[in-house]
Structure 1
């Protein structure tokens, strides 16, 4: 929801600024310009990107507005609980936890633990999954970044096309002003789409992907420590570095 708030604020700022400056909302509405900018930008990205990367980028774009930063404190509490459960009832008790956990990565790790796999194997399997998923997602983010790069250029193309039409109708001088104003709407669409939606969203996805990878790394380390027979308090101490602290805050002198 926070991402939607940012997009809404951007629209209000542009439309409101145009209105305060004496412009009308109808001046910013141009379906032809929208078709050129949006259609051309998507076409350029399709030409550049493999189909799977494009599909993944589309999923990540929606994911960026539905998800939030992982809760490391909650993850630490889960690891503490799983460690206590394994000590009381054995590793096989974690199989039920794997079956009901919504995160596929965590569920896979719990299942490996319940199956009695050695710590080195658990780390190896989860590490490969973590790295592969992160690389695929970051590759898909490049598709969204490329959209942000193409959009302003397509906006300029739309503006040039509009100016060509204006120049073709020089015999009607009363329409020149309106025609030129309409032509430049394409530039607004292209620059606005890139800098208010596409590039910020790509940066947000990268931050979310990196945060998820760090969270999964914490879970992986915790599950490996459980497999090694470490106690809950020892695990908490060894994973403390993953938790957000106030170390970066300046200390009073």
Structure 2
């Protein structure tokens, strides 16, 4: 679980509701089903108009990326690559075939399989880089759906406010109906601006950040696999791969 995301949501909602309470207001006054339907329905509809349905569904399925911390064990991956480099140096590249079943990362596994199949190192690099680029592009498109929602929500909130005021104007002769219309007008604006700036835009940006992080790890894996395919010296390969680590996590020899 990504503690920063969960903590941020709790702090944001808690601060708003806490401020409302300090001003003498009630939580119930900002809970308006009509305003919620207008803002969320309008925003979702606008996103569906802008994007293909497959991309919208992908963006929903990728919310978990913003809420969790996918395991990115860079140091462990480097160790794995170096172990395989030592095996191939002693027993040849075909010996790596027996190690494939022990790998859990599909991307890493695919790269090793390509090496065992005798793929040229340059072609290996091209194939894996295309896959990384495609995966990241797919994820960025999904993240942009959330960014688009962050752009539409405040505008739809204003539409909700206008609709509420129209309802008020239609019932000026009946004071008992004025409160509900005014409430919808102001709460719709709060929902639109709040949802955009507290949820939609932050989620989109968090997804982009994690996609970039994942792409960085895969770039390192590609560098390691190409070195493996070329029969590069494991010590030199270690030097290259550890450049992806913070200085304090590198091997003692590398720090000197």
Decide: shared fold, TM above 0.5: yes
1:15 corresponds in structure 2 to: 17
Counterparts of 1:77 and 1:34 in 2: how far apart (Å)?
Answer: 51
Task: Map Cα deviations across residues 96-147 of structure 1 (whole Å, 9 max, x no partner).
Answer: 4433433221111111122232211211110111112112221222211111
Give the gaps of 5 or more residues in structure 1: 247-253
Please say if 1:213 is aligned against 2:219: no
Counterparts of 1:49 and 1:97 in 2: how far apart (Å)?
Answer: 42
Cα 1:69/1:184, change in 2 over 3 Å: farther
2:166 corresponds in structure 1 to: 164
Please say if 1:77 is aligned against 2:79: yes
Q: CA deviation at 1:84?
A: 2.1
Counterparts of 1:179 and 1:229 in 2: how far apart (Å)?
Answer: 73
Between stretches 230-239 and 216-225, larger displacement belongs to 230-239
Counterparts of 1:205 and 1:162 in 2: how far apart (Å)?
Answer: 35
Q: CA deviation at 1:178?
A: 5.4
Give the gaps of 5 or more residues in structure 2: 249-256
Q: CA deviation at 1:87?
A: 2.8
Counterparts of 1:209 and 1:127 in 2: how far apart (Å)?
Answer: 15
Which aligned runs of 4 or more in structure 1 are off by greater than 6 angstroms? none
Counterparts of 2:35 and 2:104 in 1: how far apart (Å)?
Answer: 43
Q: Is the 8 A contact 1:97 1:107 kept in 2?
A: no
Secondary structure class of the residue paired with 1:116:
coil
Could you state the TM-score of these two structures normalised by the residue count of structure 2?
A: 0.89
1:137 corresponds in structure 2 to: 139
Counterparts of 2:175 and 2:77 in 1: how far apart (Å)?
Answer: 68
Q: CA deviation at 1:74?
A: 2.1
2:252 corresponds in structure 1 to: none
